[in-house]
Amino acid sequence: MTTRRDVLGQSFAAGILALSPKYALGAARLPDPADQIGMEMRRFAVPGVSWARISDSAVHSTGALGSRSAGVRASISPTTRFQAASLSKTINALCLLTLVRDAILDLDEPVNERLTGWQLGGHNNAGRVTTRMLLSHSGGVNVPGFRGYERFRSLPDVTEILDGIGPANSPGIRVQYDPGTRFAYSGGGVTVLQKMVADVTGLPYALAVERRVLNPLGMLSSSLVQPPQEIDLALGHDEQGTPIEGGYHLYPEQAAAGLWTTAGDMARAICAVLRSLDDEADALLPSHLAKQMITPVIEKAGLGLFVSRAGNIGHVGANLGFGAVFAAAPSLRRGYVVMSNGQNSERLNDAVAELLTRSAGWDRID
Phi, psi of 335 (to 5 degrees): 180, -175
Residue 13 has a pLDDT of 36
Neighbouring-strand partners of residue 338: 51, 325
SS3 annotation, the chain: CCCHHHHCCCCCCCCEEEECCCCCCCCCCCCCCHHHHHHHHHHHCCCEEEEEEEECCEEEEEEEEEECCCCCCCECCCCCEEECHHHHHHHHHHHHHHHHHCCCCCCCCEHHHCCCCCCCCCCCCHHHCEHHHHHCCCCCECCCCCCCEECCCCCCCHHHHHHCCCCCCCCCCCECCCCCCCCCCCHHHHHHHHHHHHHHHCCCHHHHHHHHHHCCCCCCCCECCCCCCCCCECCCECCCCCECCCCCEECCCHHHHCCEECHHHHHHHHHHHHHHHCCCCCCCCCHHHHHHHCCCCECCECCCCEECCCCCEEEEEEECCEEEEEEEECCCCEEEEEEECCCCHHHHHHHHHHHHHHHCCEEEEC
Collapse the DSSP code of 4 into the 3-class scheme (helix H, G, I; strand E, B; otherwise coil) and give the result: helix
Q: Exposed e or buried b for every residue in 36-52, given b needs 16+ CB within 10 A?
A: bbeebbeebbbbbbbbb
Collapse the DSSP code of 136 into the 3-class scheme (helix H, G, I; strand E, B; otherwise coil) and give the result: coil
Write out the chain's pLDDT in tens, 366 residues: 444 344 433 333 334 333 322 222 233 344 457 889 999 999 999 999 999 999 999 999 999 999 999 988 889 999 999 999 999 999 999 999 999 999 999 999 999 999 999 999 999 999 999 999 999 999 999 999 999 999 988 999 999 999 999 999 999 999 999 999 999 999 999 999 999 999 999 999 999 999 999 999 999 999 999 999 999 999 999 999 999 999 999 999 999 999 999 999 999 999 999 999 999 989 999 999 999 999 999 999 999 999 999 999 999 999 999 999 999 999 999 999 999 999 999 999 999 999 888 887 776 634
Residue 273 has a pLDDT of 98
The span from the CA of 301 to the CA of 89, in Å, is 12
Residue 32 has a pLDDT of 58
Collapse the DSSP code of 96 into the 3-class scheme (helix H, G, I; strand E, B; otherwise coil) and give the result: helix
Length of the chain in terms of residues written: 366
Residue 275 has a pLDDT of 98
What structural domains and CATH numbers belong to the chain?
4-365 (3.40.710.10)
Interval 250-282: pLDDT, tens: 999 999 999 999 999 999 999 999 999 999 989
pTM above 0.75, yes or no: yes
Residue 15 has a pLDDT of 40
